[in-house]
């Protein structure tokens, strides 16, 4: 059971959920390509060094990818990153003042970005390399509007 499902309040339903983008594996892939080039050019020590780096970065990226989740419910915006060192956000839709999206050129091409949730009081919480950030922002804004209309 996911973090979001475990922390649902009574009557709360998940409207949208997202994860980290596969782009978190970029450095592991780059290190692996360098290792392959090293082995192909008869430079085994360089190849082995970059195989170790690729394995370490790949493991780190896999943990980051598999332990991060982001969601919008009919009552809250929820986000969780990390396994041992956890960073989470649970903000009621009535307390969310804004949702900003930062997306560079690569983010626009590959479909990832940084979502910054601003809560009442001006607290800003960024979440990086989220897959389909435009859809997450859109769904959150729709739910915020629905809550405000029902008042």
Provide the token pair at 84: 């041992």
Torsion angles phi and psi, residue 36, rounded to 5: -65, -40
Name residues whose C-beta falls within 8 Å of residue 146's C-beta, 6 or more positions apart in sequence: 74
Q: Is the pLDDT of residue 20 over 90?
A: yes
* pLDDT tens for each residue of 42-86: 888 899 999 999 999 999 999 999 999 999 999 999 999 988 888
pLDDT band at residue 143 under the 50/70/90 scheme: very high
- Picking from 2, 22, 21, 13, the residue whose alpha carbon sits closest to that of residue 135 is 21
What 3-state class would DSSP assign to 61?
helix
**pTM of the complete model:** 0.84
Provide the token pair at 65: 């990818």
Q: Are 71 and 18 in contact (CB under 8 A)?
A: yes
Q: Are 98 and 112 in contact (CB under 8 A)?
A: no
Handedness of CA 38, 40, 45, 50 (dihedral sign): positive
Higher pLDDT, 139 or 121: 139
Handedness of CA 136, 141, 146, 148 (dihedral sign): positive
């Amino acid at each position: 059971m996911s973090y979001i499902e475990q922390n649902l309040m009574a009557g709360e339903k998940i409207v949208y959920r997202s994860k980290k983008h596969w782009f978190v594996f970029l450095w592991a892939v780059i290190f692996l390509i360098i290792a392959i080039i090293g082995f192909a050019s008869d430079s085994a020590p360089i190849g082995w060094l970059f195989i170790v780096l690729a394995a370490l970065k790949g493991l780190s990226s896999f943990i980051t990818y598999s332990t991060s989740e982001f969601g919008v419910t009919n009552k809250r915006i929820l986000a969780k990153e990390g396994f041992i060192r956890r960073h989470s956000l649970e903000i009621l839709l009535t307390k969310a003042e804004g949702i900003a999206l930062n997306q560079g050129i690569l983010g626009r091409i590959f479909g990832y970005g940084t979502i910054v949730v601003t809560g009442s009081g001006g607290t800003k919480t960024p979440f990086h390399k989220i897959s389909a950030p435009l859809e997450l922002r859109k769904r959150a804004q729709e739910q915020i509007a629905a809550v405000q209309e029902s008042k």
